[in-house]
Structure 1
Amino acid sequence: MSPLSSDELRAIREELSAGTTPTVWFTSSAVGVQEGRSGKVIALGEPAEGDFIQVRPAGSKDVLSFSTAEITQVKPPRKKSTPEPAKPAAKTQASKPSQDTAPKPAEKPASKPAEQPGKPRTHTAAKPADTAAARRKPRQTKQQIGGAVVTLTADQDGQWSVEVASTKRKLVKPTQVPANAVAQAAKLLHDDVAAAVEPLIEAAREQHRARVEELRAELEAAQAALEELDE
């Protein structure tokens, strides 16, 4: 079985962010778990930790830590059952035993030596095998947020707001942010994002320019009326 590739690991992260638990199978490198057994990925830690993939094996309540070499997303083929050998046909007539093959009288079993009185028997208890499965202890998974969605919204007045939500709850309620901060963030993210946001920013600029001209005209009219009153 081939271990997890970087693309498969990236796909597993996306499925966990969507709230699903991807199915994987254990390779021959897996310690303490039978090869070909399936399991569910519960969470992903940091690759620097080594065994950073948290998996619950099928039929178990424990969550164990594995590396990319110990699990795969390639489902193993089913093992073909070996047919039982044909039994020989029973003889129709029992052959008579000859004199040479006649059963011999049973020999008396050799007598066992009598146990010495007062000497107790010793029994050696079998020690449990020190297997890798016994050495592996379940690892407590860290509580992680399964991804988040950041939403930027522009209203008709050119005001921007940001909202952050996970798959389970809202992390940040809609909060107003300056338009220039949105423009700077869009440039840092990607050129396509900046190109998509720029028309909205420009429309907001035009709207504010028109409002400034309108207020300037009102101010000039009010100033003229005041001067007439002062004459």
Structure 2
Amino acid sequence: MSTRTKPQPLSDTEIRQIAAEIDAGRPPMVWFTAAAVGVPEGRSGKVMSLGDPSEGDFLQVKPTGSKDVLSFGPTEVTLTKPARQNQTKPASAPSAAKPRKEPIVTMPSPAAAPTAPSAPAPAPEAKTETASPATEPAPEAKAAKAAASRPARNAANAAAAKKPKAAEVTVTLSGTADGEWTLDVVNGKKRTIKGLSVASSAVAQAAKILHPEFAEVVDSIHEAVRAAQQAKVEQLQAELESARRLLDDLA
């Protein structure tokens, strides 16, 4: 009886190779191992994306001939193309052939009775026919039991593959030398807010809540704006006084 070795998980080098090919727009081809649930061993598929390795089944694979993308673990697929299975079948043939050869060796012994060979001949064949089926139902029953448990796991993998992932949100706060602040928000790949005006007081208050270093940067910007505006006010006041004196002289 042959023993099946446990499939080895994908190495870190192979996972990095898969990630590089996906980034290059070339989903790599893999083959399912005996550990794969819901897919026959030796069937091929393409890795469409990679998830978080901490989730276990983080490889999103689309089996050949299927429209669904399912989740699999690193032991359920391999980058090595398996050998053809037709070479492994003859190994089971000798076990079925040996029991049939044994009656042929034992039958020539009754030479004294000429009419006896016709009666004993069917007995060995009946014995060999009942012995061979007894050994074969075990692997078939095991395969049927494993196949019965695969649909539930396959459905769970399909549900996990279709679960929507939260989009990344990018918030950008921009300020000018005149003390004007604007806000931009990008949700996933869509810009939801663009150039929204924000009061300087609101920015200063938010900066104090978020982080001391951020508050220090905002305060330095506001201080520079105050100084510039103060100088502008003094200049305008000087021009106003000059205009009033000129107006008094003309009067």
Aligning the two structures, in what range does the TM-score lie when normalised by the shorter sequence? 0.3 to 0.5
TM-score by length of 2: 0.42
TM-score by length of 1: 0.45
Q: Could you say which structure has the greater relative contact order, defined with CA pairs below 8 angstroms and 6 or more residues apart?
A: 1
If each structure's helix is expressed as a fraction of its own residues, which one has the higher value? 2
